[in-house]
Amino acid sequence: MMVLVGCNAPVQEKDISQKADSVLRLLSLEEKIGQLNQLRGRPTTPTNTKDARYVIEDEIRAGRVGTFLNVHPLEEKMAFQKIAVEGSPHGIPLIFAMDILHGFRTTFPVPLGEAASWDVPGIERSARISAIEGAAVGFMWTMAPMVDISFDARWGRVMEGAGEDPYLASLIAKARVKGFQGDDLALPNTILACAKHFAGYGQVLAGRDYNQTVISQRFLHDYVFPPFKAAHEAGVGTLMSAFTDYDGIPANASHYLLTEVLREQWGFQGPIISDFNSLEELVNWGVVSSVKDAARMGFNAGTDIDMMGLVYIDHLADLVREGKVKEATIDTAAKRVLIAKFKLGLFDDPYRYFTPGLDEDTWLTPAHRQHAREIARASMVLLKNEEDLLPLSTGDYGTIAVIGPTDADAINLMGTWSAWGKPGNVVGIVKGLREASGAQVLFAEGCNQQGTADPALMRKALETAGKADLVVLTLGEGWRNSGENTSLAKITLPQVQIELAQQVQKMGKPVVCVLFNGRPMAFPWLNENMPTILEAWLPGTEAGNALADVLFGKYNPSGKLPMTFPRHAGQVPITYLEKRTGRPYKQGKNYTKYLDMPNEPAYAFGYGLSYTTFEYAGIRLDQDKIGFTDTLKASVTIKNTGDYLGREVVQLYASDLVASVSRPMKQLIGFKRIELQPGGEEEVDFKVTSQDLRYWNKDMIYQADPGEFKLFIGTSSAEGKEVVFTLE
């Protein structure tokens, strides 16, 4: 029997809350706990004993499951929903979730790559399209955006986030939440978002996935919380706890993180879900001695839903009967899930997300492809162009050789977490260059992506390169080395790829080196020997077209690094947000440094070249002192002094010269993307108030202090003009 409570129009929160209460009252304790149990779809090959422990249809019929992860076939979702609505005791509809991070059938650059575009509206549109495509086949909840801040390129999951800077990552978190959720979750093309992984996962010790973290409460507030707070303020429907610990307590069992911060300080109302099986893993952490105690600790800390752990469904009812968990708390958690279902309109129409018979490629619309192409080319970062080899002129090269393993497997161009992206839909590098140039475009992989040497492949590659007028050398880390559980101690390119580059370079032909990677990598030999290097990330379905647009100048690259590129793994973790310390770099005799390497990275946060050049005039302030309620106007005139129309991300950083705690040397507080014709110039104005200068002071109060500040406006965090002003 389906509990029919119509809610056609976007209903108010209070109305939904009352409706959720009316359903909750009907449920037994077991059924309430069922809402807190997330199962996954039938894996093609059961990979762990848990899948074998139950029959999905029986669990649904018994009201023992509230949401699903990764039920892929639309027919299967419809069948499961039918059982839930018509065959379970109170007909509560199911929510179907999936990790939809950077596209669904149309894939966009991996999120870190997208962040390099600094195109916040464009990033929102990517999430919007992802939701439209995922919702069309019955997914109502995405486990995204991932908003973890990280300074550590050894951690492969940096590809899922927006890099190292809290300000940029906060804007992007908000854009992705708005893109996924739209303005009304009850619409059939908007889906619940899930900000993850709360909190501090990006700070894993030694860059090793799933490891412990060693961060302070202040670090959490300064760097880790801001993107989550932004997602919360943007109305994110759910949050996911992290695999990691904070202050010795695993995040999914941290009352401080999940209840004190999220519920009591921020007022977050949505469901909090554990990460996959992580509740059971509390036993491994050694904070509980049994899985049952893990259920108690995780639930009482504030984790509402158990993702595929079977821990809540096995033990919560007993824990209530033993008085170790309050039924009132179960009610609160179950109600959060019911509210999410009301917001999605599932009680009104549980089948609204199912459009049977939709052609699989409905979603690869020209508009979706065009956006994929635009956001991918905007994400590419020009690292070097010393001989102005770029942009290429289509008539200059009769034969172009694409050399390198990337194009051997289109999945290398999509990256992991690419949902239903199909390699067959990807426009590869050869195809893209051929269509753009009209030249003969040859291909040889030269080595395989796994980095094993193969003399035959090398020979073939050099022979192929020998026939070409230009070589496009495509190197990188491949999809297998990017994403979850892909930490690397060495963040260099595989040695076979360096050898390939060296052999190609010896041929004395013009070479464009293009990197396809999901993390910042260290490539010292390329930096020293290759005059032309473009960072293309893992660019998605329109990879080849986007790359061709950039290489042939149809799009002048405008990407800026959202994460510092180190010279060497030994510099990691590395960030522009460093403090000056008591012995600042290059000041005096003893200062913070390495004996064997400069402190500077290979490429700084915010770095990215253009085919044109931009000249920054000095910063002009409309006043050199402001009060707490004043607005300072900082202006800088920028001129396009080159020969191409160009886009520039003008970055505004602030530096708090004296505060009650030591502060970063500079911190991003604003930016503007401008476009200038050759010879054109524009005055870029920034407004700065005391609100922009707040920090968590020694008493952990978020406010600005009076005193001297430096403003830095530039083309990257390392290059620009600065000026001092006073807040009084």
Query: Which residues are at the interface with ligand GLC (CB under 6 A)?
Result: 69, 99, 143, 196, 275-276, 484
336 secondary structure, DSSP code:
H
Q: Which of 476, 463, 488, 388 has the alpha carbon at shortest distance from 429?
A: 476
CB of 241 to ligand GLC, least distance (A): 10
**Minimal distance, residue 87 CB to ligand GLC, in Å:** 27
The Cα 347–Cα 253 span in angstroms is: 31
- Closest CB to ligand GLC among 190 and 244? 244
DSSP secondary structure of 64-126: --SEEE----HHHHHHHHHIIIIISTT-PPPEEEE---SBSSSB---HHHHHTT--HHHHHHH
| Least distance (Å) between residue 40 CB and ligand GLC | 8
Distance of CA 298 to the CA centre of its chain: 26
DSSP 213: B
The number of CA neighbours under 13 Å toward the Cβ of 286 is 2
Task: Kindly tell me the sign of the dihedral angle through the C-alpha atoms of 12, 257, 232, 185.
Answer: negative
The helix/strand/coil state of 26 is coil
Instruction: For residue 51, indicate whether it is catalytic.
Output: no
Minimum distance, C-beta of residue 154 to ligand GLC, in the bound complex (Å): 17
- C-beta of 143: minimal distance to ligand GLC in Å? 3
* Phi, then psi, of 226 in degrees rounded to 5: -50, -50
Dump the DSSP string for 638-674: EEE-SSS-EEEEEEEEEEESS-SS--BS-EEEEEEEE
The least distance separating ligand GLC from the CB of residue 68, rounded to whole angstroms, comes to 11
Closer to ligand GLC by Cβ: residue 143 or 147 = 143
DSSP state at residue 141: E
Q: Compute CA 215 distance to the chain's CA centroid, rounded to the nearest angstrom.
A: 21
Q: What one-letter code names the amino acid at 350?
A: P
Cβ atoms of 574 and 561 within 8 Å: the answer is no
Closest approach, Cβ 551 to ligand GLC, in A, equals 34
Question: Which residue of this chain has its Cβ atom nearest to ligand GLC in the complex?
Answer: 143
Give 113 or 145: the residue with its C-beta nearer to ligand GLC: 145
| Cα Rg, the chain, nearest whole Å | 26
Q: With b meaning 16 or more CB within 10 Å and e meaning fewer, what string describes 53-63?
A: eeebeebbbeb
Closest CA to 540 of 130, 99, 74: 130
The two tokens of residue 684 are: 């870029």
- Of 319 and 419, the one with the shorter C-beta distance to ligand GLC is 419
Catalytic residue among 222, 245, 275, 409: 275
Cβ closer to ligand GLC: 176 or 368?
176
CB of 275 to ligand GLC, least distance (A): 5
In the bound state with ligand GLC, the residue whose beta carbon lies nearer, of 273 and 491, is: 273
**Measured from the CB atom, is 122 or 271 closer to ligand GLC?**
271
- Toward ligand GLC, which CB reaches closer, 239 or 498? 239
Least distance in angstroms from the C-beta of 483 to ligand GLC: 9
Report the distance separating Cα 589 and Cα 163, nearest Å. 34
Are the C-beta atoms of residues 189 and 135 closer than 8 Å to each other? yes
β-bridge pairing 719-727 and 245-246? unpaired
Nearer to ligand GLC, 81 or 416 (CB): 416
Active centre residues (catalytic) = 275
